[in-house]
Amino acid sequence: MRRRARARRAALPAVVAGSGPLPALVLGVVLVLVWWAVTATGTVTRIVLPPPADVVATLVELAATGDLLPAVAATFSAAGLGAVLGGAVGLPLAWVLVHGRWFAAALEPYVAASQAVPAIALAPLLVLWIGYGLPSIAVLCALLVFFPIVIATTLGLRTLDPEVVAAARVDGASGWRLLRHIEGPLALPAVLSGLRNGVTLAVTGAVVGEFVMGGEGLGLLLVAQRDRSDTAGLFATLLVLCALATAAYALVRLLERRWENS
């Protein structure tokens, strides 16, 4: 299975495989230039769309005053803790859904139905049940991470080559040994794919939680900037949030590439 995945990657055109981050950087530069042109010509007022220079200046000011790093640390802590909790529940549940037909028939409808409830609607309930602050925010993040990890891991386990699994069982592998040596390594790409999506949702959940459940992170900073009608500050904080989500996504992608090359 791993050889087939590598063969598919090798079949990509060289221009795509070797392009790296250049297309994204070029698109980013183009978007910033368009942004600058729109604000420089006065097409849009500063209160609606501040110039890029104002956003950068505000970002530097936030870093210099010491308001930015503690907020980033608080949001990252809540998102990271939520991702760990979501994975700790989602991974074993996915294994149970794959290996237990009765459990799958009983639980899958409820797992799917849980995604119909918006995260913002769960926040007041979590406040009543857990209270304000980090614990309730982390639980909200875990609920957002839980679903993509369960779905990706379930698909990864169900699409394993049955001949490989059968051969391992003939050799005496079962239970923990089968999971450790066969199922886990072969399903790992799917698990990491779900985790990539989950960590970005965890950052979103942390900010939403800070809107409703308190906290000291970037969500609280956004609320303060909104109340001051500080559009440049809002844009600066949103850029930091984008960078935080991108960094978390890139970290998981790095782990995935290291596994692919091993």
| Mean pLDDT over the full length of the chain | 83
Torsion of the alpha carbons at 252, 253, 254 and 258, rounded to the nearest 10: 100
pLDDT tens, position by position, 137-189: 999 999 999 989 999 999 888 888 777 777 777 776 677 777 777 777 888 88
Considering only the top CATH level, what class is 50-261? mainly alpha
Q: What is the DSSP letter of 262?
A: -
pLDDT tens, position by position, 205-256: 999 888 888 778 899 999 998 999 889 999 999 999 998 888 888 888 888 7
Nearest to 157 by CA among 188, 181, 197: 188
CA-to-CA separations, 9 to 87, 141, 224, 230, in angstroms, rounded: 28, 33, 47, 46
pLDDT tens, position by position, 179-194: 777 777 888 888 888 8
